[in-house]
Structure 1
């Protein structure tokens, strides 16, 4: 099983959301549909565009990374996103080729 830490943005690129999950496709669906707890913040701010993610074989690293990045400044988060996705194009997991 894989675990993910991920960053979502809203269409205006004004709000960033960092999360962690063991099923990124399911979690993105929950965010886009406003289901359960996924819809509270992301639904209010329309954060449903995936721009960054990291994969890990266990939950420990993504949980620690989520806590770490949530304390970062926006500029530091933007730098991180730019390392994987410099154009900030929404990532489609079905077609993503790694940048």
Structure 2
């Protein structure tokens, strides 16, 4: 089963959120539902725009990658996103061609 490591940002691209899920569509819906919920990181900072994702073969590897990315500097994370998604456009999974 594929597991996704993903990065969300807010409208002004000032905040990044890194997460792991086995159902990216469902998880994005949950994040958008949290918008404005000050008790949750993605709600407080309105980070609901998908700008990066990758697929790991299993949960263990996905979690390892998530930890690795979280340990990176902002500059390094920005470079990763820019290489994958040069314009930082919010990714629509139904139309994304990579």
Aligned to 1:10: 10
Moved more, 57-66 or 9-18: 57-66
Q: Which residue of 1 aligns with 2:40?
A: 40
C-alpha distance in structure 1 between counterparts of 2:33 and 2:75, whole Å: 29
4+ residue segments displaced more than 6 Å: none
1:28 aligned residue? 28
SS of structure 1 residue aligned to 2:53? strand
TM-score with structure 2 setting the length:
0.92
Corresponding position of 1:69? 69
Instruction: List alignment gaps of at least 5 residues for structure 1.
Output: none
Q: Specify the SS of the correspondent of 1:72.
A: coil
Q: Residues of 1 paired with 2:96 and 2:57: CA distance? A: 19
Q: Please report how far the alpha carbon of residue 57 of structure 1 lies from its aligned counterpart in structure 2 after TM superposition.
A: 2.2
The Cα shift of 1:62 comes to 1.1
When the two structures are superposed, what TM-score results if normalisation uses the length of structure 1? 0.91
Count of residues paired in the alignment:
95
Counterparts of 2:53 and 2:40, CA distance in 1 = 21
What 5-or-longer segments of structure 2 have no aligned partner? none
